A and B are shown apart, each in its own frame.
Chain A
Amino acid sequence: MKPLEYHAPGALDDAVRLSAEAGASPLAGGTDLIVQHRMGRVEVAHMVDLKKIPELNVLEFDKKSGLRLGAAVPCAALAECEPIGRLYPSLLEGAELIGSTQIQSRASVGGNLCNGSPAADTICALIVLDAVCVIQGANGSREVAAKDFMTGPGETALNKGELLVEIRVPPPAPLSGNGYLRFIPRNEMDIAVVCVAAHLVFDKDRETCLDAKIAVGAAAPTPLLVEQAGRALIGSKLDEPALKAAAQAASKAVRPIDDARGTAEYRRHMAGVLTRRAVGMAVNRFKESG
């Protein structure tokens, strides 16, 4: 390991400037970056710590505009923010699956996204919840939909010198429910073999599905919003044929690989299994919400 310089700017502009340097890498919780650096998978000459920048530590909810989640807010803080568990349970579920309790005190949702892993635990929820990523660069800010944020394994929509500042999640529709689950062979301390988030909006009859979004992770180079799976559910009362069609659409849409965590064939199968189960979770959430 080569020596590196550590920077901890207090202003967003300084952070953007420092991050543009050669060999610079932004640091939030560091739970991915420091491990990768120590293992020699990335070489970092400048670590730019973002935890002291106010804009990246925002955590607030407004009934009209929804949730603002600063990119450096640790996952553990999400559980403390009351409306998140109630309105965005899929997001909280993802955040609470990242590492152990100790890790969650450091790891951030922003970092989870910027690491660019197709198996990231928070991205699928953000995709189905229509979240938007707010990005700051030297030439100003721009917005990218969560579904477009990851562009390949370890790759994101961020250009060199750009920082993810916050994630904005609109308030979910009144008659709706959402849920996230992943499959791991163990019950803790693992990375998703496949993961799925579902977000369902219901008609006034509380049975007919008006809108549905299904996102599948760890089964393609990037997390996927599987529109066909959503379409299979829309207009249905989530009966067996609709669920089967959604599961099949998810299995068909994925482009998995064989690796140490699972085979492509198994991931394809599991995309369908988890789609059904995530839809079930979303339905239960809706019913529980009264």
Chain B
Amino acid sequence: MEKQTPGGRPYKVIGTRPIRHDGEDKVTGRAQSGADISFRDQLYGKVLRSPHPHARIVSIDASKALAMPGVEAVITGAELPQPHDRMFLSGEGGVENFRYVNDRVLASGKALFEGHPIAAVAAKDIWTAEEAVKAIEVTYEVLPAVTDVLKAMQPDAPLLHEEITTETLGEKKKESTNVCRHTQHKRGDVDQGFSAADVVIEREFTTSTVHQGYIEPHNATALYRSDGQITIWTSTQAPFWVRRDVAELLELPLSTIKVVPLEIGGGFGGKIAVYLEPLAVLLSKKTGKPVKLVMNRQEVFLATGPASSTATRIKIGVKKDGTITAAAAHLVYEAGAFPSNWAVMGSMCVLAPYKMETLLIDAFDVLTNTPKVMAYRAPSSPQAIFGVESVLDEIALELGMDPLELRMKNAVEEGDRRADGPKFPRIGLKETIQAAMDSEHYKSPAPSGPNQSRAVAVGFWFNAGLQSSATVGINMDGTASVVTGSVDIGGSRASMAMMAAEALGLKAEEVRPSVADTDAIGHTDVTGGSRTTFATGMAVYEACQDVLGQLKKRVATLWELPEEEIEFDGSAFQHADNGKDPMTVKELGAKLTATGGPVMGHSSVAPTGVGASFGVHIADVEVDPETGKVTVLRYTVVQDVGQAIHPSYVEGQMQGGAVQGIGWALNEEYVRNDEGKMMNPSFLDYRVPTMLDVPSIETILVEVPNPGHPYGVRGVGETPIVPPLGTLHNAIARAVGVRMRSLPMSPPKLSAALQAKGLEAIAAPTP
């Protein structure tokens, strides 16, 4: 594995661990988040939300609310421009229709999920706004609701959208249904593949709806000036997409809108879509004052995008030596109340880690009376791969084979194809499996106490490319500033500064990174899809090359030599014949004015050389057979991370992803009552792991550089949420002999399964 710059030099900055540039502000609480912004004449908004998961809106009467002192405006769905069909690229690469964004932002006709916005008010303070919302009278005709994906597929299920029919293999069917899309991938004759197998195992799995669980609730503040110019301050992963979405929804030119991204308290894919921004703009337009809306936690749970619940069926056939001959996957994904592509994404991930001659994947996106599913860290991959990794674990036991050997035998490598077609470039799955095999954790004796065991699972995520812009300016003292349009969620300021420092021969501390608003930098897509360090990093690299090209001209002027005879060697400009003392970028700063003025480089990129990332997780667990509670004794994340720019933040991503996956596996779920209402919309009862619930997550960085990036960068943030579901499932199964095949494996469920099995059987586990 080469670890060097494109010029073949060892890294000086990349791979080190400087203190992050935004660290102090974030640690001291000085950083300005979305809800921190305030204006002198600001109004406060509040959203009226449907208490019913499914209801026809018969009438809305806001007269009493409008009559309240301090209430300045009320808006309803009737005030949005008429919805129209227009397709757009949404989070993580799916294509969606604006018609349904319109309807999601403010209901028209029907409330389609509990928490669906019905109206919004603006008032002089938040207390008045809250009381005003209560004073709006809405008459609902309550309709039967369906929140379970399999029930929603039944012919007699309540229909969410009359106009929707199944789009199957590119064709639209006639009858109305909740199944909005059927996707299929085929390779070879899968029946023949299964008949060639010595062992075939087929199992069914379910997972529950889970939420991203970011700490900071959604917020938006907007000012609609009398000259028609709009500014939106918000916490978002995608300021340019907020601008696009608001412009589209309100039928305004892009150029009238400026979006200022403030510091964001977590997103994980859940802060890509607009929720409050269009409402804040409409309320500001009506009142002429800035209007601020901030959700509470209940609103976040009820009305922002969770990840799909799923029902899957996985069948895998292998030869006695472990070679996979065939696999079939049947995937059903909760779409929420509006059409989604999450099953499509699942179909692209489900079998991605393994080679096989034959396969068949059928995936169904199903509408339910639940909030529209949004991206959540490697969206759709965890649920799909969970089943595959569990079946492989059973196969390994059946064959008496080491579970990592089985994976190694079938692991994809460069040149292999994904089920949906694309060929893998250089990837590091085999290196990652080998690193897991060689790890101290895996080599150490597995825990052997009662109800303890160890297991593994693999994870995969494509990572995204999309578009990014960056500028790099050289200051008059030779230091640099880097400006990008990528919101910093996971330490990207530090990575951008380090890549620029590496390119320019500066120290990380000599580069000042910042995030610009939509007026101050070229178009930049979402911070998501693990694309920022890769794609925006590439824009920064290219902008630095632009700078170096300009500086070379200045050096040529100073040295009175032809440009061609001057080289930048990563530290300084050199003369080919060593006729001059080397000159660093730092030294050039003071000479800029005399040689033609300031220097700034810029670049906009849409890179295609995206590098996928694979991970292997190892978990040791202990189950309390009486309570059904699982303790994670030890946990290691092994991952191909390409070249780690700032290893600490790569490790942080791996640890954070693993913890979210552990929560998903063990306790997190939307608990719904018979009417389809969520019973646990709080952090008290929606149980994300606390720091006392997980061990210190160990990390092993496998660095297989991505040839598609000058510094070998692969996205790293998403893959680590994928393996924990299978890893913990398999570890529990091996510890107590019960395969749950249903998430979360919460104490009541696991305890019931153990009791059903009989306590005497627990003493001698037979997984």
- CB neighbours (8 Å) of B755 from chain A are 269
B685 pairs with A260, CB closer than 8 A: yes
Select which of B126, B298, B627, B690 is within 8 A of A186 by beta carbon: B690
B692 at the A/B interface (Cβ < 8 Å)? yes
Which chain B residues lie closer than 8 Å to A188 at the CB level?
A: 690, 692-693
Chain A residue contacts of B679, Cβ below 8 A: 259-260
Q: Find out whether the CB atom of B626 lies under 8 angstroms from the CB atom of A273.
A: yes
Q: Which of A190, A193, A262 contacts B684 (CB 8 A)?
A: A190
B131 interface contact, C-beta 8 A: yes
Encoded as 1 (CB less than 8 Å from any A CB) or 0, chain B from 667 to 702 comes to 100010000000110011101011011000000000
**Does the CB pair B687–A190 fall under 8 Å?**
yes
A185 touches B747 (CB 8 A): yes
Q: Judge whether A101 is part of the interface by a CB distance below 8 angstroms.
A: no
Taken together as a complex, chains A and B put the C-alpha atoms of A119 and B166 apart, in Å, by: 48
Once A183-B627, A269-B755 are accepted as A-B contacts, the answer to whether A3 and B687 lie under 8 Å apart by CB is: no
Assess whether A226 is interfacial by the CB under 8 Å rule.
no
* Interface pair A187/B627, CB less than 8 Å apart: no
Which B residues are in CB contact (< 8 Å) with A40?
130
A261 within 8 A of B: yes
**Residue B748, interface by CB 8 Å:** yes
Q: Which of A189, A260, A266 contacts B747 (CB 8 A)?
A: A266
Q: Known: A1-B130, A260-B685. Contact between A185 and B629, CB under 8 A?
A: yes
The yes or no answer to A191 lying at the interface (CB within 8 A) is: yes
User: Is B680 in contact with A183, judged by CB distance below 8 angstroms?
Assistant: no
Residue of A nearest to B130 (CB): A1
A189 and B629: CB pair below 8 A? Answer: no
Q: Which residues of B contact A191 (CB under 8 A)?
A: 684-685
How distant is the Cα of A185 from the Cα of B750 in the complex, in angstroms?
11
Contact A263 B131 (CB under 8 A): no
B190 within 8 A of A: no
Q: Is B559 an interface residue (CB 8 A)?
A: no
User: Measured between C-beta atoms, what is the minimum distance from A281 to chain B in Å?
Assistant: 15
- Whether A266 contacts B671 by the Cβ 8 Å rule is no
Known: A261-B685, A266-B748, A269-B755. A187 touches B693 (CB 8 A): yes
The range of chain B's interface size is: 20 to 34
* Contact for A1 among B127, B629, B687, B746, CB less than 8 A: B127
* B752 CB–A CB distance under 8 Å: yes
Asked whether any CB of chain A lies closer than 8 Å to the CB of B4, the reply is: no
Contact A189/B680 with A266-B751, A269-B755 known, Cβ cut-off 8 Å: no
| A residues 150-203 in Cβ contact with B at 8 Å | 183, 185-191, 193
Q: Is the CB of A185 within 8 A of B687?
A: yes
* B751 touching A186, Cβ below 8 Å: no
Residues of B723-767 contacting chain A, CB below 8 A = 746-748, 751-752, 755
CB–CB A183/B747 < 8 A: yes
A1 surroundings in chain B (CB, below 8 A): 126-127, 130-131
Please state if B692 and A186 are interface contacts (CB–CB under 8 Å).
yes
Contacts of A265 in B (CB 8 A): 748, 752
Chain A residues with CB below 8 A from B130, complex form? 1, 40
| In the bound complex, CA of A188 to CA of B692 (Å) | 7
List residues of B (219-246) whose CB comes within 8 Å of A's CBs.
none
Q: Is the CB of B680 within 8 A of A262?
A: no
Which residues of chain B are near A39, meaning CB under 8 Å?
A: 298
Q: Does A2 reach chain B (CB closer than 8 Å)? A: yes
| Cβ-neighbour of B687 out of A2, A186, A263 (below 8 A) | A186
A266 touches B752 (CB 8 A): yes
Given A2-B131, A185-B629, A186-B692, does the pair A260, B748 have CB atoms closer than 8 Å? no
Are A260's CB and B671's CB within 8 A? yes
CA distance A243 to B194 in the complex (A): 53
Contacts of B693 in A (CB 8 A): 186-188
Complex Cα distance, B458 from A154, in Å, reads: 48
Please name all residues of chain A whose beta carbon is closer than 8 Å to the beta carbon of B671 when the two chains form the complex.
260
Residue A270 at the B interface, CB < 8 A?
yes
Contacts of A266 in B (CB 8 A): 628, 747-748, 751-752
Q: Is the CB of A273 within 8 A of B627?
A: yes
Task: Looking at the assembled complex, report how far the CB atom of A180 sits from the nearest CB atom of chain B, in whole angstroms.
Answer: 16
* B515 CB, min distance to chain A CBs, angstroms: 32
- Report the bound CA distance from A183 to B202 in whole Å: 36
Nearest CB on B from A168, distance (A): 32
Nearest chain A residue, comparing its CB with the CB of B680: A260
Note all chain B residues with C-beta closer than 8 A to A261. 685
Let me know if B752 and A187 touch, CB within 8 A. Answer: no
Given contacts A2-B127, A259-B679, A266-B752, contact A189 B685 (CB under 8 A): no
Cα distance, A273 to B671, chains bound together (Å): 25
Q: How far is the CA of A188 from the CA of B684 in the complex (A)?
A: 10
Specify which chain A residues have a CB less than 8 angstroms from the CB of B683 in the assembled complex. 189
Chain A 259-282 residues near chain B, CB threshold 8 A = 259-263, 265-266, 269-270, 273
B328 CB to nearest A CB, Å: 34
Instruction: Kindly state the separation between the CA atoms of A261 and B629 in the bound complex, as whole angstroms.
Output: 14
- Rounded to whole Å, the gap between the CB of A33 and the closest CB of chain B is 16
* A189 contacts B690, C-beta separation under 8 Å: yes
Q: Which residues of A contact B684 (CB under 8 A)?
A: 189-191
B667 touches A186 (CB 8 A): yes
Tell me whether A269 and B685 are in contact (CB under 8 A): no
For A39, A187, A188, A260, the residue with the greatest tally of chain B CB atoms inside 10 Å of its CB is: A260
For B746, the chain A residues whose CB sits under 8 A away are 185
Contact with A along B302-333 (1 / 0, CB 8 A): 00000000000000000000000000000000
Q: CB within 8 A of A185: which of B127, B626, B667, B752?
A: B667
Q: For residue A263, which residues in chain B have a CB less than 8 angstroms away from its CB?
A: 748, 752
A270 vs B752: C-alpha distance in the bound complex, in angstroms? 11
In residues 614-631 of chain B, which contact A (Cβ within 8 Å)?
626-629
Give, as a whole number of angstroms, the nearest-CB distance from B208 to chain A.
Answer: 12
The 0/1 profile, CB within 8 Å of A marked 1, for residues 97-134 of chain B is 00000000000000000000000000000110011000
Give Cα distance in the complex from A2 to B652, angstroms. 43
| Chain B residues with CB below 8 A from A2, complex form | 127, 131
Interface string of B479-508 (1 = CB under 8 A from A): 000000000000000000000000000000
Shortest distance in angstroms between B162's beta carbon and chain A's nearest beta carbon? 33
Nearest CB to that of B127 among chain A residues? Answer: A1
Contact B131 A269 (CB under 8 A): no
* In the complex, residue of chain A having the shortest beta-carbon distance to the beta carbon of B755: A269
Q: How far is B70's CA from A3's CA once the two chains are assembled, in angstroms? A: 14
Q: Say yes or no: B687 contacts A187, CB within 8 Å.
A: no
How distant is A196 from chain B, measured CB to nearest CB, in Å?
12
In the bound assembly, the distance between CA atoms of A269 and B756 in angstroms comes to 13
A262 to B685, CA, bound (A): 10
* Interface positions of B (Cβ within 8 A of A): 126-127, 130-131, 298, 626-629, 666-667, 671, 679-680, 683-685, 687, 689-690, 692-693, 746-748, 751-752, 755
Residue positions of A touching B, CB distance < 8 A: 1-3, 39-40, 183, 185-191, 193, 259-263, 265-266, 269-270, 273
Known pairs A185-B687, A191-B685, A260-B680. 5 more at Cβ < 8 A?
A185-B666, A186-B667, A187-B690, A189-B683, A266-B628
Mind listing 21 A-B residue pairs with CB under 8 Å? A1-B130, A2-B131, A40-B130, A183-B629, A185-B666, A185-B687, A186-B689, A187-B690, A188-B690, A188-B692, A189-B690, A191-B684, A193-B747, A260-B679, A260-B685, A261-B685, A265-B748, A266-B748, A266-B751, A269-B755, A273-B627
The 10 closest A-B pairs by CB, nearest first: A266-B748, A260-B680, A260-B679, A187-B692, A260-B671, A273-B626, A188-B692, A1-B127, A188-B690, A260-B685
